[in-house]
Every structure is written in structure tokens, then in C-alpha cells.
Structure 1
Amino acid sequence: MAAERASYEVQVMKDGRWGAQSFLEDEKTAVAAAKKYLNDKKCEGAKVIRNWMRADGTVVEKEVFCETRTVKDDGPVRIAQVDSLPPTKCEVPDDYFGDDARNVMNRLFRTYMEKTFVTPTELMYNFKELKRLQDKDTLLPSAVDRVAFLQTKDGEGDSKSRREDIFKSVDAVSAKARKADAMTLPKLTGSFSDMYRAVSGMANGEVDADYLAMVVLSRELVNLRSWIGKLDRLCRLAVEDSDPHAVELLDGVIADVLGANVVQEILGWQPNLASAIGRMFDLADGNLPVETSDAGESAEMLNRLFKEKKLPTSRLCLIDRAHRQIKSANPLNRSDSSKELEAFGNLVQRVLTPTGLLFGPETADALTSRQTRMVVEGGAAGKRAAIAATFGAMPDKAFGVVYLCDLAASEFAQGAADDIAAMFDRIMDTTNIGQLCQRNLTPKERMIRATMAHKAMAASCFPAELKAQVTERIDSILERYLIDEQIVEKLDHHESPLRDRAVRLVQFCAAGVLPEGKAMTRARTRILGLLRQKDFDAHFVEGIPDPARAQKALRDFHQLLVRAGFGG
């Protein structure tokens, strides 16, 4: 009777996705059919699912056979062109397991990984996958050569010696993976932290619990031959686990997956590259509109994890990817080249925040690098033109100051420091706040914007003389604005009670709308005039009949004075 309620579904993997091929009534026949599919060298995998119908009509599924493999392609696979590396070199084998190293692997081996659906984690912790990579044409030697060249091109060491050091580390990583491959480890059937506790007792002098946990994870991931499949599994593990260390380990592997082209599926259809880059930033903040995503529940879980700030490594990976896309030669609007400048402007608006550019120097570098592809000039003249064009794309000169300060701290500034500094002539020609800040801002917003520029310049890497000139000019503009608009006088309206006038003025000084300087001094001078009035405390609490409330009002006011910079 049970046999009559059982059927066997044969599935075959193609392009990383499982699809049903046939339904058979006998298990042996089904397994034989699956193995027959595997005779085709292009078959990525085959499996048999037993579907058994219970008496109540529900169906129970059980996998009775599964085999996956990396399909050999017809031609050689080459490394991707990588022109920059993180500043810190891997000195010992364990360094190669770090986030920066895995990010570089993701970039170098991108073509290979897209063909085989493996992550850097699987390459590092799964000996079989690492061996396949080592045997794949000249892929590994080419990658080592490229890394060695980039790390020694500025005269820091010898390329040949660096190459030998990297290969020694690769051999050590491979030997460690080979030993782990022979170990009998638990499967990941429950939570990641439960599995972690299980392998902790198996750790020894050669392998710690972190390493063994990643070996177990890689053994499972290697059977998921699609990026969405891997991402879904990893996100579920992260969402369901409350152990911070477990989520930290999963974060690194999720970052591996986000280095793949799966990001396009997560974002869903976008009209152009500029829009896609904006959505990457949205996702990094946990604000991606998931209804447009092709990744379904995986996108929802990823959004939630980013929103809860549980994936710092993955967030940095996503941001790095967005910046590299901004700097790339790919058009921001492929369908209409005439709208390229408009797309750039939209991108600039997306990376502006109340405190400056979204990710500071990295964003300034990316935007300016993109502009070098949009201006007519080349070489040094092209750099100057790109700096000027990006400055001009800022909403006002105040944001332009912030942009220049960030750019000066970026890689782009190498060889362009004088051109960046020369842009401040535009600030020195500014005489009023209407020329410095957008005209549609409120008075408070204008002062905050100008103060942001002042603080950015004061904290910048420019020479002290230039910093003093620019900050003094911004301060003078703010002082003139206070005078012309009678902002302090409006706050200190004589018809208002003394307490209200004093609190308003001190709150103004404590609000961060003015930098230290002449403008702030003007506002504080007005407050000091009030404080020096005879019997100020008594006048301050007039109208408060309760002595306890009066004393509290005075204490709160004195605390506000301290926050406003009037001393302790």
C-alpha cells in the first residue's frame, strides 16, 4: 500500500538550477535514470526525490540520491583584470582567510566562479574545490603573478620573492584543507551555532573551531549550485541565529556571495547603471524595495539583516562594488547617451547626506574618476577638468568644500593635490551665504550647511595656511549673515520673558549651527550680556512659584550653558 503512495522525481541541474525531468514509480529505476543523465559531461548534477503521500493527503519529500559536479568547459578561463589591492599584504597563511583577501579572490577569479558557482570560502575550506582551481589551466599562477606585481610595483620588495611567498602560503592553505577533508565532521542540520559548539570539541593545535565550522559550511554550500540558493541558505542561518560570533562568520560568506553577479537578481530590473548603483546603497542600508527584486525571500532576509546592522563585512563589500561600478567604463545610461550627465547628477544627489558625502573619500574618488571618462580632456588636464566638473555637480559651494576635502584624502589626490587646492579660489571669491549655500534652504539649514563645510576644511589634510584662509572666509560669511538677517536679535526679542530669551539664545549656540569663530562669538556676546544682568537667576525663575521647579529650571539652564561652550 505504501509503495502505491510513493513516486520518485528525477531532477537535473542546469545553469545552477534544478529542474524536474521525469516521475517514476520505482526507486532503483529513478536512480538509474539520474545516473544516466550524469553520463553527459555537461550535466551539472542529478538527484532523486522520493514523494510519499500520507493517509491524510499530505506529501513528504526525501532526497534519496544526489550528485553534483563542476562541469568542464571547452576553453581556458582567465583571471579578471584587477588594478588595485588593499594596502595590507597577507604575510602568513592565516591572513588569506581574511575578508580583504577573499574579496581580492572574488575579483580575480570572477569568471571561474561564475562558471562553477563556488565562493572564496568554498575554495579555501574545501580541498576538492581548491584542487580543481589549482588544476584549472594557468589560473592560479596568473593570479599570483598579478598580485605579486601590484604589491611590488612601487618598489616595495621584489616581485619574484613576493610570488614565492604567496605560493608557500597557498601550499600551506592547501595542506590544511587536505587534512580537514579527511575529518568526519557533523552536518549542518540545525543552527550554525549548534554546529559550531559540536566542532569546538574537535579543534586541536592545527585547526580551531572557526576553521572547522567553515569547513562544514563549505561542504554544504558546494552542493548548492546557484547564487540564490547559497544566499538563501546563508541568510536563513544568520536570521535564525542569535549568537554574534556565528553571525559574524556567516557575514563573511554572505559577502563572498555578494561579490558575484547575484546582486543583479537581488536588485531586480533597473533602468540604468546609475539607478542600480543607487539601489546598492539602498540595500547596504537595509532599505531596498524588495517588491522589485528577483531574489524573493532571500532579498527580504538580506534587507532585514542589513537594517539590523548584522552584516558589516557584507555592507562594505556592497559599497566597494558600488564604488567600482561608479569608476568603471560602463555607461550610467546605456539606452540614451545624451542623458549620461543627468544620470551622473542623479547619482551625486543619491550620495549626499546631511553630514557630507555618503562614504567620504571613497565616494569622492569614485565620482571624480567617473568624470574623467566624461570630460573631453585627457591626462593632467582631464583630471583638472574632472575635479572642476564634479565640484560643479555639487548642490552648492559649501558641499563643494566637503567634496574637495574628501577628495584630498583619496587615492585620486596623488598627483592632483595642487589642482584640488586651486579649486578653493572659488570659495575665496564668495562674499555672502547666498553664493555659498542653496537659496531654497531655511536659515537654519544654510548655517548648518556652511558650518559643515567649515568643519570639513578645519579637519582636512590641506596646508594650515589654506585651511585658515578658507575657514576664516566661511566664518566671515556666517557672521555677515547673522548681522544682515538679525538672527540673534530675533531670538533675543525684548518683549519675551528673560527666561525664554536666554534659553533660545543658548540653544542656538548649542545646536551646532555655527562653528567656533567670529559668528559664534557674536551670538555668545549677546548671551553674556543677559547673564551679566543684575540678579539674573532671580529674574530667570520669575513666574515659577514652586521653589523646587525653579531650582530645576536653573540647573537645566546651566547644563545647557556648558553644552553651548560657556564652561563648566
Structure 2
Amino acid sequence: MSGPKTSFEVQVMEDKHWVIAEMAGDEEKAKAFAESIAQAGNHSAVRVVKDYQRIDGTHTETVVLEKQIAAKGPSDPTLANITDAPLCAELEDFYGQPSRTTIGKLLRKYLDEALITPTELLHDAKEMKRFGDKGNLLFGAIDKVSSLQAKAAGDENSKARKDFLDKSWEQLQARAKEFVGKKPKTPANFAEAVKGSGGDPFTLRALMVMALLEKRSWFGKLDMLIAWAAEPAGEANMSVIDGVIADLMVPAQVIQDLLGFQSNLSAALCTIVNLVEGKAEAAKFAPQTFTDLNTLFAAGRLPLTREVLMARVMREIGGTNPLSRNDPDQEFEMFHKMLHRLVDKDSVTGGPPLAESLLQRGSRVLNSGGATVAAPQALQLMLGALSDGCVRLQFLLTLCASSLGKSMGEVLTEVLDNHVRRSKHIDQWIAVRLPPPQRMAALTAANKALRTCPVLADDFKKALADLIDDVMVRYLTEEGIIEKVDKPDDPLAARAVRLVKFCGAGVLIEGKSLNMAKARVIEHLRQKQFEEKFVASCPDPSQGEKSLRDFHKLLVECGFG
């Protein structure tokens, strides 16, 4: 039994709930981080909670710091609150996806009213002038972004960033005006836009924008982009089309209309995940656009749009909006359903950031009392909600690579260590109902995932991976798997071929379990007059020599040298 453990959680107040923002093993570091949050002024309150885990596994929580944060003064109502902004080092960076996504969030109200995307704003001289003339909106946006960028760069003085953004805006406008001066013609299709661009990326985007501005609805723009993607010219220039479609996935109303009827937030988020994987079925009232996008996702042609949509999924999961607003009693069930959609034995959809979001949501939902529970306790509840040992291991390994996982430190690695050490039988790792090849393949995949985890120490990984190998050896021995493959009553040729294929099938762990099967093969090979007996046992003796040559090739292919 492990000794007592102490950790510190930095929690912030969001929608009347305490949400974990950071974890630390040191009280002073936790308090310093809490002070930085208080100074930022983005939350109404912050606190540091000391979590003490006794030897018996029970937890005691003590609030060691709590601060109420004064509300900020009123800001421009047309600017949304954002917490970060990517750093643009040169002019072309402003046209990039991170910049456009930030613009889409910060200027959401203005863009919705003007019915334009960030791409359209950055390429059309009239739209840029109209935005610049909208009161102090431009200056407020530049001030907000420069402050965030300066803070991220560790520079207390944001004037340099503000001057750079001011100058860059002037250059962006000059480029747009220069394009207009050439008196371009609105392209009738994407092929015309590509031809008219002469290979220049900015000119291609500006020509696209001319056609997009004629569409006065989000779905009008989206459907035109999908039609362009079907053109031969679209297939050759898919990245620029993908970028504008990604812009159109930022407005909440577009997502709502695109998904059709969804019973609750959990169902909507699962539908988005199905969509970006190209596996979605259109819901009631979903437009044809949904099916068309699903086809493009299935073909892997929308990586930027996938990134934007998955970022939305992660924000919603880690946020406080109810998964089942109309029926609060279903909150746990909806989380459980979503959890199993996003986490399986092979991966966590969305990777480490989504694993972190799931734990944050789980810290509220899985506690029957409704309050936020400590991250270690929430993690134990999460593991209990997952289906088997392989799935739990995948979640733990993925969480280890997240920011929250790294901040948990020894708390998380101890949970991982305990999980592997107490799972000594294959039934604790994978469902009994599955056939033996699938069970062995799943355990082998779990072993490989552990051995290749980049954020864990090599000695730690090897010790646990060896324990999983022991589980496989125990399964092979108890179930007589090798004996069932190497049936004594079958001809020698059939037994030898079947054993070698078993070794090369990838269902055994490279270690003691694979060596057990290889030892049986070597035992056959070393018997006297093996080759003569092999040829004689072939179904067609006239093909014996050929079968023997094929067998030797199979040995090499399966790693016998």
C-alpha cells in the first residue's frame, strides 16, 4: 500500500462551478499560478485546494487560498472575450488558419452581422474599410490582440506588438487595394479563379472572395465551396478551399443548422466527431450540405476544418454547458455515452487535449453530489466508467501527454502503475466474449502503446510492459493456445506453417510470450530429418519441394532469419 500523497489544485470559478485550471506538487507554485490568474482578471474567483491522500486511499481537501476577482470594466460589446492569440511574425501569417480562427472568435458579432468570413475580411478592400470605419472596433481588436501576444511572449510592454499590428493592417489594406486596381472579374467557377490567379496564392484567395461575397448566407458560401471542391481544379487546390470551409465552422449558428436535430449537447458533440471522421449519418432536418461534408471528411480532404471542429468539441467538453440541458437527470448517462464514443483501446479521439477535457468534465459529472471533485478522485471515477483494462490504459497514457496530466506528476504515474500491477489476468484487460486472436491482439497493442509512450521514463515503461507480457504468457499457458495451434494429430507441414504464421501474425508481445511460440517452432525445426518429414506430410507430395521453399520464405518473413 502506498504512502500518503499531497497535491495542490488551482481552481477557477466558471458559471458558479469550480473548475480545475492547473495542478502542482508544490504549494508556493500553486499560489503563484493562482495569483497570475487573478491578475489576468478573466474569472470571478480563484482558489488553491490542498488534496491530501491518506494511506487508506481516502482524500481530505483544504482550501489554502481563495480570492474574489473584481470584474473588468465594460469592453466593446462587439468584441468577444478571447484568452490567447497566435503570434504573427510576417504579413503572410495573418492569412493563416490560426490567425483567421482567432479573428473569427474575436469579431464574431461583427462578422455575423456583416455575413462575411475572416478570409473575406482580409482580402476585400471595401470590407476592410467598412470594418475600419466601425467606431473603435479596429483599434480595440488590435489593442486586445497585442496585449495577449505580449503576455504570451513574456513582454510586459505591448506597444511594440501594437505598432506591428497597426503597420500590418495598413499593408493588408494596401495589398487588397492593389488587387482591386487591376479590375479583376468575378470568376464563374473555381477553374476560372485558378486560371486568373496565375499561380499567386493571394490573388487566388482574392478571386474566391469576390464570388463568396455574392453569396448572402453562410450555407450559400459553404455550398459553393463544396461545389468548387468537386472540380478538378478544386482537387488540386484543396487546401485553400479547406481553409475557408474551416472559417465557416466557427459561427455557432452554422454548426447548429448543419447538424440538424440533436437531442442534447452530448449527441451534438458525438455527431461532430462522427462527421470529422467521415462516419456520420444525417440527422432529422440536417441539410444536404452535411452529407456532402461527410464525404469530403471521409476522403481526408478537410484537415483544417477537422482541426477547427475538434477544437470546438474539446472546448465544449471541458466547459460547463450541460450535456443534457432539458433533462438534468441524464447528465451522467450522456457523459458515459460520450466517453465511450471518444475513448477506445486504440486511441482517444482528439488526443491529449481531449483526454484533459474529459477529465475536467468528469470531475463535475461523475460525482453524484454534483460538485467538482479533485482530479485524482475524478480520474478513479473515470477509470471505473471505462469498459476494460486496455481502454483504461489508453486513456491514462494519453492523459500523461496532456498539460493537466504533466502537472499531476506522480499522482498520475502512480495510478498507471497500480492499474497495470493489479490487472494480472487477461479477463481484466479485454472482454471474455471476444475470440482469442482479438484478445491477444488487444493485449499486444496495449503493451506496444505503453512501451512507445514518449512522456514516460524508459525504466518505468519497461517494468510495466513486462508485467503485461506476463499476463499474455499466463493466458497462453492456461488456455493451451500454442497446443491448439500445434495440433499433434495434424500433418507436420500443416503444424509448422500454422505455428510460423501464428508467430508472425502480430498478436503476440515481443518478449516472453512470442519467444514461447518461437520455441515450439524451433523444436520442430531441430528434429531429425525435418525437411524430409515436412515434404512427406504435404497433401500433394509432388509439390513438396515447392511447399518447403515457400515455408523457408515464410520463416524469413516472420522473423526467424
Question: Shared fold (TM-score greater than 0.5)?
Answer: yes
Question: Which residue, 236, 240, 257 being the options, matches 1:249?
Answer: 240
> Is contact 1:241-1:247 (8 Å) kept?
no
- For residue 129 of structure 1, what is the aligned residue in structure 2? 127
Q: Deviations over 1:329-360 (max 9, x none)?
A: 11111111121111111112212355222232
Tell me the CA shift for residue 309 of structure 1.
2.0
Tell me the CA shift for residue 152 of structure 1.
4.3
Q: CA RMSD in A?
A: 2.6
Question: Which residue, 419, 424, 430 being the options, matches 2:423?
Answer: 430
CA–CA distance in structure 1, aligned partners of residues 505 and 157 of structure 2? 55
Question: Which residue, 311, 329, 342 being the options, matches 1:351?
Answer: 342
The residue identity in structure 2 corresponding to 1:479 is V
Tell me which moved more, 365-374 or 251-260: 365-374
Query: Matched residue of 1:357: which SS?
Result: coil
Alignment of 1:508 with 2:506, yes or no, is no
Alignment of 1:522 with 2:516, yes or no, is yes
Query: Matched residue of 2:287: which SS?
Result: coil
> Is contact 1:364-1:403 (8 Å) kept?
yes
CA–CA distance in structure 2, aligned partners of residues 524 and 420 of structure 1? 36
- For residue 408 of structure 2, what is the aligned residue in structure 1? 416
Distance 1:162 1:557, change over 3 A: farther
- What pairs up with 1:140-539 in 2 under 5 angstroms? 140-153=138-151, 156-160=154-158, 161-190=160-189, 192-200=190-198, 209-261=200-252, 262-290=254-282, 292-296=284-288, 298-353=289-344, 355-374=346-365, 382-424=374-416, 425-460=418-453, 461-539=455-533
CA–CA distance in structure 2, aligned partners of residues 375 and 141 of structure 1? 45
Distance 1:433 1:343, change over 3 A: same
> Is contact 1:397-1:437 (8 Å) kept?
yes
Tell me the CA shift for residue 211 of structure 1.
0.8
- For residue 19 of structure 1, what is the aligned residue in structure 2? none
Tell me the CA shift for residue 134 of structure 1.
2.9
CA–CA distance in structure 2, aligned partners of residues 84 and 392 of structure 1? 35
> Is contact 1:76-1:137 (8 Å) kept?
no
Residue segments in structure 2 that go unaligned for 5+ positions in a row: 1-74
> Is contact 2:264-2:325 (8 Å) kept?
yes
Q: Deviations over 1:139-192 (max 9, x none)?
A: 4444444444444445634451333333332332222122223221122113x1
Tell me which moved more, 431-440 or 249-258: 431-440
Q: Deviations over 1:46-68 (max 9, x none)?
A: xxxxxxxxxxxxxxxxxxxxxxx
Question: Which residue, 90, 96, 99 being the options, matches 1:98?
Answer: 96
CA–CA distance in structure 1, aligned partners of residues 470 and 553 of structure 2? 29
Tell me which moved more, 517-526 or 387-396: 387-396
- For residue 109 of structure 2, what is the aligned residue in structure 1? 111
CA–CA distance in structure 1, aligned partners of residues 153 and 470 of structure 2? 47
- For residue 81 of structure 1, what is the aligned residue in structure 2? 81
CA–CA distance in structure 2, aligned partners of residues 551 and 164 of structure 1? 81
CA–CA distance in structure 1, aligned partners of residues 162 and 532 of structure 2? 79
Query: Matched residue of 2:387: which SS?
Result: coil
Query: Matched residue of 1:314: which SS?
Result: helix
CA–CA distance in structure 1, aligned partners of residues 282 and 355 of structure 2? 28
> Is contact 1:270-1:276 (8 Å) kept?
yes
Q: Normalising by the residue count of structure 2, what TM-score does the alignment of the two structures yield?
A: 0.79
The residue identity in structure 1 corresponding to 2:129 is K
Query: Matched residue of 2:365: which SS?
Result: coil
Distance 1:305 1:552, change over 3 A: farther
Distance 1:438 1:159, change over 3 A: farther
> Is contact 1:285-1:306 (8 Å) kept?
yes
> Is contact 1:447-1:513 (8 Å) kept?
yes
Tell me the CA shift for residue 433 of structure 1.
1.4
> Is contact 1:239-1:305 (8 Å) kept?
no
Distance 1:539 1:483, change over 3 A: same
> Is contact 1:239-1:301 (8 Å) kept?
no
CA–CA distance in structure 1, aligned partners of residues 509 and 357 of structure 2? 29
The residue identity in structure 1 corresponding to 2:204 is A
Q: More relative contact order in 1 or in 2 (CA 8 Å, sep 6+)?
A: 2
Tell me which moved more, 118-127 or 419-428: 419-428
CA–CA distance in structure 1, aligned partners of residues 531 and 156 of structure 2? 74
Tell me the CA shift for residue 436 of structure 1.
2.5
Query: Matched residue of 2:186: which SS?
Result: coil
Query: Matched residue of 1:423: which SS?
Result: helix
Q: Which has the larger radius of gyration?
A: 1
Q: Deviations over 1:424-470 (max 9, x none)?
A: 21221222112232333332222222222211111111122321221
Percent identity over the alignment is 32
> Is contact 1:79-1:143 (8 Å) kept?
yes
- For residue 4 of structure 2, what is the aligned residue in structure 1? none
CA–CA distance in structure 2, aligned partners of residues 318 and 472 of structure 1? 39
Distance 1:529 1:79, change over 3 A: farther
Distance 1:442 1:139, change over 3 A: farther
Distance 1:299 1:530, change over 3 A: same
Tell me which moved more, 480-489 or 278-287: 278-287
The residue identity in structure 2 corresponding to 1:443 is P
CA–CA distance in structure 2, aligned partners of residues 337 and 486 of structure 1? 50
Distance 1:422 1:194, change over 3 A: same
The residue identity in structure 2 corresponding to 1:280 is I
> Is contact 1:492-1:501 (8 Å) kept?
yes
CA–CA distance in structure 2, aligned partners of residues 379 and 142 of structure 1? 38
CA–CA distance in structure 1, aligned partners of residues 402 and 488 of structure 2? 50
> Is contact 1:357-1:363 (8 Å) kept?
yes
Tell me the CA shift for residue 390 of structure 1.
2.5
CA–CA distance in structure 2, aligned partners of residues 159 and 520 of structure 1? 61
Q: Deviations over 1:479-515 (max 9, x none)?
A: 1111111111111111112222222222222222222
